[in-house]
Amino acid sequence: MDRVIPDLLIWYRQNARDLPWRNTQDPYRIWVSEIILQQTRVEQGKSFYMNFINNFHDFCHIANSPEDSILRVWQGLGYYSRARNMIKTAEIICHDFGGKMPANHKQILSLPGIGAYTAAAIASFAFGLPHAALDGNVRRVGSRFLGLYEVLGSKQSDKIITEYLEQHIPINEAGEFNQALIEIGATVCKPQKPDCHSCPLSKQCVAYQKNTQNELPVVARKKAPVNSYLDYMWLEADGYTWLTKRDNHGIWKGLYEFPSKTRDAETRNFPFEDWIINPEYASILSVKEYKHQLTHRTIYARLWHLSTSLNNIVNKNEFTRIESVSIEAYPVHRLMLKFIEQKETTTHHD
């Protein structure tokens, strides 16, 4: 690789996208950007990054803020455990490391929410430490450049790529080298139709030499999503509505939503008799069906919009009664945003 590294670095300096987290060496900002960009496209992450650093200025600021306020900024981005792990990491850095990210790869790697990729990215981008940062881009570039048929992301594949890169990483330009490889993967060595003719690595790329760039990398087959069926209760009474905070289950942990029950695919009965004292005194404003597609799950949700009086509602500890107008202060998932947004769009219909 030594022969193409100068070409790679020159290419990067001429072609790097101007991204908001690239104009800083601040480990805090680099950390924020790297967490946001986990399994998230650059274009999707930009506005969340700007919003995040405008609301939270350093590690101790996060550590001293309520969980709901961080989740509220994260709302709609997905993989919410990232935000909760950021709080844990911010607390550790604020209390044990004097409020500053340690300039040490092993200590960075030990922090919650920071795995092999993110630790190497922070270590190299912020501190110039020579660790290979293998994300999806670099794995693909490495697989093609070295002509690997090991399954992408497998132990063997990662080991080969990591050892190769750390053997060749320029000791004084580790950060730029890693960013350049990521940039090549994102903009040139794309999953489909790579632009090999404009790639600074092509003259040493095994796949390009053998014309196998379209059959590499070898990717494991994905699992089909499973279906789940839910009834949600959007209950309004005298200007109040009810939410619950998800905690013990897997999905959307820490976010708020309307009270819900799981159901069978074909069930259509009114499911909330035990939450309302006299169902006949509650009016059904609407019943709407929603299909919400996640990566690993398809949710068929039915939203029951109900209206009744306060004294007709069973008091349950797990339900939080809030003023209807204050709902936007609570962090909610995307499906909840779909539920709520219909309110503003149905201000008038015959």
Among 39, 198, 227, 311, binds DNA (CB under 7 A): 39
Least separation in angstroms between residue 200's CB and DNA is 16
Q: Which stretch binds DNA (CB under 7 A): 7-15, 16-24, 59-67, 303-311?
A: 16-24
Among 3, 224, 315, 350, binds DNA (CB under 7 A): 224
Among 242, 252, 304, 339, binds DNA (CB under 7 A): 252
By C-beta, is 124 or 241 nearer to DNA? 124
Count of residues binding DNA (CB under 7 A)?
60
Q: Is 133 exposed, middle or buried (0-12, 13-18, 19+ CB in 10 A)?
A: buried
By C-beta, is 226 or 310 nearer to DNA? 226
Q: Is 123 exposed, middle or buried (0-12, 13-18, 19+ CB in 10 A)?
A: buried
Placement of tokens 């201000």 in the chain = 347
Look at the alpha carbons of 35, 41, 42, 47 in this order and tell me if their dihedral is positive or negative: negative
Q: Note whether 124 binds DNA by CB under 7 A.
A: no
Of residues 51-90, those binding DNA (CB under 7 A): 76-81, 85
**Rounded CA gap, 86 and 90, in Å?**
6
Q: Note whether 11 binds DNA by CB under 7 A.
A: no
Residue 171: C-alpha distances to residues 3, 15, 165, 175, 187 (Å)? 16, 22, 11, 9, 25
Least separation in angstroms between residue 29's CB and DNA is 11
Q: Note whether 13 binds DNA by CB under 7 A.
A: no
Q: Note whether 160 binds DNA by CB under 7 A.
A: no
Among 14, 18, 23, 41, binds DNA (CB under 7 A): 41
Among 6, 57, 191, 316, binds DNA (CB under 7 A): 191
**Rounded CA gap, 138 and 136, in Å?**
6
Among 142, 185, 194, 271, binds DNA (CB under 7 A): 185
Q: Sketch the per residue contact string, 311 through 330, with DNA: x for CB under 7 A, - otherwise.
A: --------------------
Among 243, 277, 294, 327, binds DNA (CB under 7 A): 294
Cis peptide before 217 (omega within 30 of 0): yes
Strand partners for 233 = 304
176 given a catalytic annotation: no
Among 129, 182, 207, 235, binds DNA (CB under 7 A): 182
Q: Note whether 43 binds DNA by CB under 7 A.
A: yes
Q: Which of 342, 348, 338, 259 is nearest to 75 (CA)?
A: 338
Q: Which phi and psi (to 5°) does residue 68 adopt?
A: -60, -30
Least separation in angstroms between residue 66's CB and DNA is 19
Q: Which stretch binds DNA (CB under 7 A): 65-73, 133-141, 204-212, 341-349?
A: 133-141
Q: Which stretch binds DNA (CB under 7 A): 32-40, 168-176, 229-237, 316-324?
A: 32-40
Among 99, 128, 136, 170, binds DNA (CB under 7 A): 136
Catalytic residues, by residue number, are 34
**Interface residue list for DNA (CB under 7 A):** 19, 21-22, 33-34, 37-44, 76-81, 85, 112-119, 135-137, 140, 154-155, 179, 182-183, 185-186, 191-192, 219-224, 249-253, 292, 294-297, 333-335
